[in-house]
Every structure is written in structure tokens, then in C-alpha cells.
């Protein structure tokens, strides 16, 4: 039997302190009944003896210390799971917001799942094709990897996220799904995501969770855990390969800081709670592959770096947990290059595990080294021309200068709706490198030069 208490002793902001309670547990859900009969939801943040601290979902306005009642539900936040969730849109608490019927669950799980045991992890090795050359060719995404996108305020990371979600696939033909979670977004952004997925047909293989900026902070904290719970159901109960995209983790961390401040906790760096690293790890480490399971969860968290500062706690701690990063460039964005990926600052630490024969193509690794080196030299030539003028450049320097310009506009700047296969990306690499004589292509083995280069020479 559920117990109801009338022992509220203090209300402070979104927090409610309850005395003389029994059997309350951490993260347990509660219902607060107001004097007018209206109900509010909340969850237990802290239990100390017979006292419990409760975080309200909808705010504390209307809560009367004397007359309000609190009922403990004996469970945490749960998500009803079914394959019928594919093609549907939910809010940050898992309620349908697309006008469709409620989900009839195959199973119901607490959203506070556990990170994958390191001993049970399978090493990521298989390639995921995003259709974006700067990722597939240079910063390859591998099944089970955690590869964040570092963006900045005003950069098109949401459009970029939608492009990845539309185009991503496994080229081995196995079942593939996307679970997309957006946190702290505006109504216009939510409408963009719904329209983009619906009009392109990508919604059929996607579960969409949308948390708006005016939704409660506690709902924003729950949203990524909702997303990963749905992903775990698809991957480990239904043997699907799942790509999880979370945008924007900065909004999530701001909500975490807001709740921490309300609890009067001692702040850490820049006011964020001292357990920020642990909290982010509890989310990120739920992605991966498990030995003996066919499915996988690949995670792309997107975050905006305040003031484009990579030393800010959010990108800094994210970098410790994940396996690389994709960095968006403000300079490329100003030049209308989409997606504006800064390939020199980007890195996929698992790239070599997901490329090569039987995964992408035999020449992939050599092409990566050569095109990266050529672009780096082209950037040097561009900087030299700014300082000394183009007249100071040698003929070969000019070739590298022109290569860097074409590489940025053609290879990186492929556009928002261009979906390139890995073969298209590798063929484009050969085409771009064909302007150089073989003696300059020192990072490509001679057998690959003889096999692939002749058809691109004029």
C-alpha cells in the first residue's frame, strides 16, 4: 500500500523537504497533491534518516506546506518499451507528443541503467557509414564507439546532427536504427527535427525524444537516460545496430548545475557539480558492444563549447571518456562550407579498427595519411601566401594551396543533402590527389598507385 505524507517542512525553489518518512529510496518517484486537488510529479534526490529531499518536475508554485500531500510510488522513472516506438516522437519523459496512441509495452525498464561492464565489452571494429566524407574518410565512425561533436554557439550542429541521422547506415545489411535525443531546444528547433525526419522518411527507423527549453530541468536530466534505455532495448533485446545522437549535452550539464545549486552543493569548476565527470560517464559508458550479443550502441553526443573554449569542463571531461572528437569550425562556417568540420582538430581514435579490406577498402588507410598530409601542407602554403604573397610560393606550393581550397569546398563542403558512399569518398580522394606527381604521394603504396590512380590522370 502506498503511503501518503503531510509532513512537508520546507519548500525552497524546485525542492521540497519532507520529514518523518519511512522506506523512501533514492530516485523514487513521488506525487504531490496540492490543496486544490492538482497533482505534481517529483523524485527523491536525497534520503537522510527520516528526511527526504524531493525535486519537483513542474516547480513549487501552489505547494502549501500545511495542506499539500506527498505520495511515494515505490519505483523510479520508467520507460515503456516496444518496437512500435520506431517512427514515433516523445517528450523528455517518454510520453508520445506526435498525436499517436500510447505505447503498449513489451517491457518496462528503469531509465537509470548501468554502464557496460568493461570485461563484457567487445572491441569496436565494424564501420558505420554516415555519408559524410570528412567523417567516413578521415574520422571513421565504428560500431560501439563514442564519438562526440564539439560545436560552438551559432554553428549548424543541429542540421549536421539531422544529416548524420538521415544518412547513417551499416553497409553489411543488418538491422539499423537511430535514437535521437534533443535537450533544451527551442520550439522552432523541435519543429525542424520533426519535419526533417518526417519529410525525408528517416522517421520510420528513428525514435525521437524532444525536450524543450521551457521543460523542467529534472526532465532534461532524465532525457538522455530515456534515449539510452530505448537504445538498449533495440540493441540488446532485438539485435539491432543503434546510433544514438544526443544534442545538446551542454544544456544537460546546465540543468545538472541548476539542480546542484538548488541543493546547495559545493560547486566544482565553473560552478558545475564535482561529480560532473561521473555523471557524464554514467551516460556515455552505456554505449558499446557486449560479447555474445549481436546488437551494438554507437553514441554521438553533441555539445556547444561556451566561448569556443575546449578547456571548458564539459568538452574537457567529455574528451576523457570518449574515443575522439569531431570539431566544427567557425571559420569554415563563415565561408558557407557545410558541414564545417575542422579535420585538423578532429580525431577518431578507433579509425584504424574500422577500415581496410572487408570493412571499407584496401586503400583507405593510405589515402587517409596522404590526403591529411597534403591538406596540412596546403594550409601552410596558404599561411605563407598571406605573409609573403603568392609570388613567394613555388609551383608545388601553389598546387598544395589549390588542393587545400578544393579539398575544403568539395571534400569537406559536400552540402547538407549529399549522401556519399564510402566508395564515392575514396574515389574523390584519388581524384583530388591526381594533381600531384607520384613522387609527392609518398604515403600511398606503389601497388595502390598503379591500381587506382591511372583512371584519374588526365
Both 18 and 95 in a single domain?
no
> Would you say residue 3 has pLDDT above 90?
no
- pLDDT score of 61: 79
- pLDDT score of 76: 85
Return the C-alpha cell found at 181: 535525443
Q: What percent of the chain has pLDDT over 90?
A: 69
Distant-in-sequence, close-in-space partners of 223: CB < 8 Å, separation ≥ 6: 92, 181, 183, 209, 211, 252
| Mean pLDDT of the chain, nearest integer | 92
Q: How many CA atoms lie within 13 A of 296 on its CB side?
A: 26
> Would you say residue 1 has pLDDT above 60?
no
Give domain status of residue 359, yes or no. Answer: no
Tens-place pLDDT, residues 59-84 = 777 888 888 899 998 888 889 999 99
Number of domains, the chain = 3
Residue 274 pLDDT class (50, 70, 90 cuts): very high
Both 68 and 82 in a single domain?
no
Which of 43, 72, 101 is where one domain is finished? 72
- pLDDT score of 243: 97
Tens-place pLDDT, residues 243-266 = 999 998 999 999 999 888 877 888
User: Of 45, 49, 21, 44, which Cα lies nearest the Cα of 31?
Assistant: 44
The model's pTM: 0.93
36-40, 86-90, 147-151, 340-344: segment of lowest average pLDDT: 36-40
Using an 8 Å Cβ cutoff, are 335 and 404 in contact? no
- pLDDT score of 90: 95
Both 63 and 115 in a single domain?
no
Which of 298, 326, 354 is where one domain is finished? 354
Both 340 and 452 in a single domain?
no
- pLDDT score of 453: 87
Both 341 and 372 in a single domain?
no
- pLDDT score of 291: 93
Distant-in-sequence, close-in-space partners of 308: CB < 8 Å, separation ≥ 6: 152, 330
Helix 217-232 / helix 249-262 crossing angle, nearest 10 deg: 130
Give domain status of residue 377, yes or no. Answer: yes
The single residue listed with the C-alpha cell 518523518 is 20
Both 83 and 230 in a single domain?
yes
Range of the domain at 68: 4-72
Both 133 and 246 in a single domain?
yes
- pLDDT score of 40: 86
If DSSP states are collapsed to H, E and C, what string results for the chain? Answer: CCCEECCEEEEECCEEEECCCCCCCCCCEEEEECCCCCEEEEEEEEEECCEEEEEECCCCCCCCCCCCEEEECCCCCEEEECHHHCCCEEECCCCECCCCCCCCCCEEEECCCCCCCHHHEECCCCEEECCCHHHHCCCCEECCCECCEEECCCCCHHHHHHHHHHHCECCCCCCEEEEEEEEEECHHHHHHHHHHHHHHCHHHHEEEEEEECCCCHHHHHHHHHHHHHHHHHHHHHCCCEEEEEEECHHHHHHHHHHHHHHCCCCECHHHCECCHHHHHHHHHCCCEEECCCCCEEEEEEEEECHHHCCCCHHHHHHHHHCCEEEEECHHHHHCCCCCCECCCCCEECCHHHHCCCCCCCCCHHHHHHHHHHHHHHHHHHHHHHHHHCHHHCCHHHHHHHHHHHHHHHHHHCCCCCCCCCHHHHHHHHHHHHCCCCHHHCCCCCHHHHHHHCHHHCC
Tens-place pLDDT, residues 324-360 = 999 999 999 999 999 999 999 999 999 999 999 989 9
User: Cα angle at 80 between 165 and 145, to 5 degrees?
Assistant: 35
Give domain status of residue 376, yes or no. Answer: yes
Both 375 and 248 in a single domain?
no
Both 199 and 108 in a single domain?
yes
Tens-place pLDDT, residues 360-405 = 999 999 999 999 999 999 999 999 998 888 888 889 999 999 999 9
Both 42 and 128 in a single domain?
no
Return the C-alpha cell found at 141: 565512425
Q: CATH number of the domain that 18 lies in?
A: 2.40.30.20
Tens-place pLDDT, residues 86-128 = 999 999 889 999 988 999 999 999 898 888 889 999 999 899 9
Both 47 and 12 in a single domain?
yes
Q: What percent of the chain has pLDDT over 70?
A: 99
Q: CATH number of the domain that 309 lies in?
A: 3.40.50.12240
Both 170 and 318 in a single domain?
yes
Which of 72, 90, 107 is where one domain is finished? 72
Amino acid at each position: 500500500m502506498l503511503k501518503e505524507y503531510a509532513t512537508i517542512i520546507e519548500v525552497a525553489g524546485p525542492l521540497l523537504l519532507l520529514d518523518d518518512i519511512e522506506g523512501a529510496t533514492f530516485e523514487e518517484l513521488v506525487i504531490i497533491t496540492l490543496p486544490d486537488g492538482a497533482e505534481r510529479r517529483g523524485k527523491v534526490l536525497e534520503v537522510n534518516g527520516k528526511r527526504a529531499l524531493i525535486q519537483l518536475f513542474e516547480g513549487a508554485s501552489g505547494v502549501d506546506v500545511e495542506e499539500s500531500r506527498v505520495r511515494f510510488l515505490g519505483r523510479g522513472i520508467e520507460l515503456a518499451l516496444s518496437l512500435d516506438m520506431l517512427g514515433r516522437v516523445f517528450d523528455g519523459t517518454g510520453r508520445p507528443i506526435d498525436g499517436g496512441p500510447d505505447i503498449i509495452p513489451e517491457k518496462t525498464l528503469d531509465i537509470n541503467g548501468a554502464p557496460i561492464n568493461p570485461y563484457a565489452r567487445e572491441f569496436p571494429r565494424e564501420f558505420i557509414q554516415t555519408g559524410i566524407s570528412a567523417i567516413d574518410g578521415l574520422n571513421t565512425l565504428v560500431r560501439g564507439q563514442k564519438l562526440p561533436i564539439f560545436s560552438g554557439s551559432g554553428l549548424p550542429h543541429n542540421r549536421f546532427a539531422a544529416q548524420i541521422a538521415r544518412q547513417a547506415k551499416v553497409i553489411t545489411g543488418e538491422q539499423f536504427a537511430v535514437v535521437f535525443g534533443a535537450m533544451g531546444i527551442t520550439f522552432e528547433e523541435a519543429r525542424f527535427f520533426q519535419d526533417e525526419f518526417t519529410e525525408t522518411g528517416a522517421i520510420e527507423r528513428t525514435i525521437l525524444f524532444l525536450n524543450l527549453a521551457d521543460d523542467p530541468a529534472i526532465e532534461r536530466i532524465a532525457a538522455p537516460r530515456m534515449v539510452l534505455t530505448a537504445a538498449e532495448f533495440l540493441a540488446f533485446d532485438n539485435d539491432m545496430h543503434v546510433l544514438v545522437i544526443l544534442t545538446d549535452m551542454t544544456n544537460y550539464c546546465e540543468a545538472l548545475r541548476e539542480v546542484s545549486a538548488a541543493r546547495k552543493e559545493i560547486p566544482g569548476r565553473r560552478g558545475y557539480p564535482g561529480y560532473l565527470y561521473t555523471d557524464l560517464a554514467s551516460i556515455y559508458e552505456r554505449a558499446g558492444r557486449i560479447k555474445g550479443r549481436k546488437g551494438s550502441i554507437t553514441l554521438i553526443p553533441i555539445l556547444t563549447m561556451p566561448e569556443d573554449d575546449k578547456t571548458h569542463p564539459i568538452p574537457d571531461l567529455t574528451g576523457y571518456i570518449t574515443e575522439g572528437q569531431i570539431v566544427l569550425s567557425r571559420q569554415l562556417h563563415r565561408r558557407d562550407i557545410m558541414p564545417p568540420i575542422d579535420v585538423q582538430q578532429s580525431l577518431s581514435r578507433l579509425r584504424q579498427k574500422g577500415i581496410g579490406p572487408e570493412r571499407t577498402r584496401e586503400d583507405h588507410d593510405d589515402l587517409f595519411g596522404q590526403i591529411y598530409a597534403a591538406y596540412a601542407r596546403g594550409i601552410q602554403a596558404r599561411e605563407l601566401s598571406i605573409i609573403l604573397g603568392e609570388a613567394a610560393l613555388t609551383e608545388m606550393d601553389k598546387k598544395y594551396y589549390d588542393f587545400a581550397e578544393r579539398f575544403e569546398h568539395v571534400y569537406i563542403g559536400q552540402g547538407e543533402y549529399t549522401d556519399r558512399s564510402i566508395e564515392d569518398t575514396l574515389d574523390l580522394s584519388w581524384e583530388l590527389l591526381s594533381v600531384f606527381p607520384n613522387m609527392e604521394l609518398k604515403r600511398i603504396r606503389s601497388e595502390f598507385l598503379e591500381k587506382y590512380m591511372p583512371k584519374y590522370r588526365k
